[in-house]
Amino acid sequence: MSTVDNERNVQINKLLQIDDKVRALLSRKLTEYAICHFANLSPYSLSFGKEQYGKPKLLSHPKLFFSVSHCDSWIVCAVDEKPIGLDIEKIENFDSDTLEFFCSTSECETIKASEWPELQYYKYWTIKESMLKLVGAGLFANPRKVIVCPLNNSVIKVNFENKDWMGESIVTDDGYVLSAVNTSNISKAILVSPDVFYE
């Protein structure tokens, strides 16, 4: 805790569950690790802030962008020189009544007709969430306005407010969907083991 800024310290201390505190702290440390690994920076040179709707940003290096997501024991972070959004969710049963909340009619039909509707559902969900995180809109924007057009198994074209973006979805071996949206194809993924991370 002594290695994170005061604002993050306050946020972590407000959390009631110890698991949530640990996840929030590890999320910040993974973000620092990813940024420093990507841009060859010292963690001591980093300072963080927030944009209008609460999207985290790097105050010390405004030309670097990052996005963080976590689900259960997974914590993921993406870093780039262009805005990026990232989301991870576990593939599980879903309530079909929620489809119309965030999907267009054609997207609903694609999900329902899929051989594995749960996978398709979470691919759409994570891509849309990633897009809204990228633009910093979060829950303030309508997810139905994010149009998802799969190009192949993993690469996806995303349209939001008449602008095209590129996205990518992968499925982990333990049944999670990880998606990212950027202005170009996602270039490189690194899985960091706890041993390497804690060094």
Average pLDDT of every residue of the chain: 84
* Torsions phi, psi for 103 (to 5 deg): -120, 150
Same domain, residue pair 93 and 166: yes
Is 76 contained in some domain?
A: yes
| Helix residue spans in 40-116 (DSSP H) | 99-102, 105-113
| pLDDT band at 95; cut points 50, 70, 90 | confident
Is 109 contained in some domain?
A: yes
Same domain, residue pair 90 and 178: yes
| pLDDT band at 18; cut points 50, 70, 90 | confident
pTM for the model stands at 0.85
For residues 123 and 177, give the distance between their C-alpha atoms in angstroms, rounded to a whole number.
6
| pLDDT band at 175; cut points 50, 70, 90 | very high
Give the CATH number of the domain where residue 176 resides: 3.90.470.20
Among 73-87, 148-162, 175-189, whose mean pLDDT is lowest? Answer: 175-189
Same domain, residue pair 95 and 64: no
Higher per-residue pLDDT: 68 or 54: 68
Task: Give me the number of domains the chain comprises.
Answer: 2
pLDDT, residue 3, reads 64
Same domain, residue pair 157 and 98: yes
pLDDT, residue 128, reads 92
Higher per-residue pLDDT: 178 or 18: 178
Quick: pLDDT tens for 97-156: 888 888 888 899 999 999 999 999 999 999 999 999 998 876 677 888 898 887 777 788
Q: Which domain holds residue 56?
A: 6-83
Among residues 35, 53, 83, the one where a domain terminates is 83
Quick: pLDDT tens for 188-199: 555 666 666 566
Helices 18-39, 6-14: axis angle to 10 degrees equals 150
Residue 166: burial class (beta carbons within 10 Å; 0-12, 13-18, 19+): middle
